[in-house]
Each structure stands twice: as structure tokens, then as C-alpha cells.
A = this chain, B = another copy of it.
Amino acid sequence: MARRKDHAPEELKSMAIKAVIEFLQEQPADKLSLRQVAKMVGYSPGTLINLFGSYAFLILAANAHTLDHISDQLESSMTISDDPKEQLRLFANAYLTFAVEHPYQWQILFEHHLDEADDIPDWQLNRISRLFSLLESRLKVLNPQSSEEERHKASRVIWAAVHGICTLVIDDKLFAQETLTGESMIQSLLTHYLGSWTLPEMQS
């Protein structure tokens, strides 16, 4: 009972990744399993392990796919406006929108931890640093006199803050009244935080 070769390895890989993502549109990560994915693609668990190395690496591959998806959405969201402040707002809102529309896919992206023995591969690191440069370039337009280091810090603070908002919104851990939306929180964050950004003499 072997030797089928119905699909090329890369083809099967993308089938598995697609199955993972499809599953996560409706069910949370802890209901997902290797055996479930195997069933979906019509192969045995062992075959997927041969292909990806382990279940954890299959998830990692799916997360890479997700990150690409998010990158695309963020980058295209920026094209809507020319105003850098508005671009940052659109950027953050696109991030939030993805999290809200795909909560389980979003959760596994940040809650999946590899064993600390094997670290995150380069192709994953590169994706993320590209997103940060997008932020930093907008900050540079907003304040050309700012130093590289200032922009480095500001981009991280903003991203971490936006990320925190997204996390707590989809986990519903804000214990807020209903009038308080993620969008208005992002608006508030950016308005206040960037208020002094264009005045470089007042920085901490």
C-alpha cells in the first residue's frame, strides 16, 4: 500500500497548508491535529511528517503563509492614502481587521511556540523585518529629522501597541463598554502617540 505519487511534494505541501488554514476559519487551533489534516488531504499522518519534519513545522509553514497574506493586506491598505499618518492608521486597521476576521488563524500565528532548541528560520524573520521597514519609512516621512534609532523604537512601540489591542480585542479581554471599538482605540493610540512625533525636540 504505497507509491502513489498523486501529487508532487510541493503540491502536497500547499494542500496541507491550505487544509490547516481552512480548518482554522471555523475551529480553534486546539481542535486541529495532524491526523485531522492528514484526513483532509487524503494522506497518512506519517506522510505529512516526512514532508514537513514534524507537526510543529507544518504549523510553522501555515503561519508563514498567513504572514504573507497579512503582509499583502497591509501593503495594499497603505496605497489608499498618501498622507503618512493616515497610512499608519490604515496599516493598523488592516492588521486589526485580519485578526477579527480570522481569529483562530491569528491566534495560532502568535501562540505557536517552537521548542527553543530549533529557532525560527530566516525566511520567517525576513518577512517581519520587511513589515517594520514599512512602518519606519512612514515615520521618516512624518519627521525627516528623526534618527534611525528613534524610528526603530517608535515603530516597535506602535506595532506592539497595535498588536496588544488586536490580541485583547479578539480574546475579549478588555472588559470595555460596547462603544469602545478596536478602531477607536487604534485611532486614539496613533493620535496621541504621534502627536509629539512631528516635534522631535520633545522625545523620551
Contact = CB atoms under 8 A, between A and B. Distances in A.
A50 to B, nearest CB: 23
A96 to B, nearest CB: 11
A165 B163 CA distance: 8
B180 A189 contact: no
A195 to B, nearest CB: 5
A185 to B, nearest CB: 5
Interface residues of A, number: 49
Contacts of A185: 153, 156-157, 160
A191 interface: yes
Given A164-B167, A192-B204, A113 B28 contact: yes
Given A187-B204, A204-B191, A167 B167 contact: yes
Given A113-B28, A195-B202, A202-B195, A189 B176 contact: no
Interface of A: 28, 30, 107, 110-111, 113, 125, 128-129, 132, 149, 152-154, 156-157, 159-165, 167-169, 171, 173-177, 179-180, 184-185, 187-189, 191-197, 202-204
